[in-house]
Structure formats: structure tokens, C-alpha cells
Amino acid sequence: MEQLIAIAMAETEDTAIFGTTQISNGPLNLTGTSGLSTLLVGGSANGGNLSYSDLAGTIAKAYSVKARGPFA
């Protein structure tokens, strides 16, 4: 029973963090964060295989927004 509750809570947390709207009494969602820059893998919202152009695009985006590390 403990494992089922833990899995349910983890799913709820994932939904809250990666959702498009903020839920009450939940963790802050990443997509609603002010100043967040995103790039789609393969140019698709459905994801896909990570390619060299995705990595190069990430570096270019980080440079354009003057991102500062450390990146962990």
C-alpha cells in the first residue's frame, strides 16, 4: 500500500511540475515560470530523438539569453 501511495504522489508531482497551469498547494510548474526558455526536441512537442542540432540549438539559445552556470 505504501508503494502505491508513493507512486500516486509522484505522478501528481510530475503533473504539477510539468503542467501548463499552477495547481493549488502543489509545487511550482516549470512551464509557467517567468523567463523560461524552451526548445523542442526535433522541433516537435511530442519529443523524439535528441540530435546534434538540438544540442547546438540549446547552446545557441543559452548564449542568446546570456545564461550563466553552473549547469548541473
Residue 62 and residue 50 share a domain: yes
Residue 16 CA, distance from chain mean position: 11
Please report which confidence band the pLDDT of residue 10 belongs to, taking 50, 70 and 90 as the band edges.
confident
28 lies in some domain: yes
Residue 10 and residue 27 share a domain: yes
Residue 30 and residue 1 share a domain: yes
Please report which confidence band the pLDDT of residue 9 belongs to, taking 50, 70 and 90 as the band edges.
confident
* CA dist list (Å): 24 to 27, 30, 36: 9, 15, 21
58 lies in some domain: yes
**20-56 pLDDT, tens digit each:** 777 777 777 777 666 766 767 766 767 677 788 878 8
Q: What's the structural domain count of the chain?
A: 2
Domain containing 52 equals 35-66
CA atoms within 13 A on the CB side of 64: 11
DSSP class of residue 38 equals -
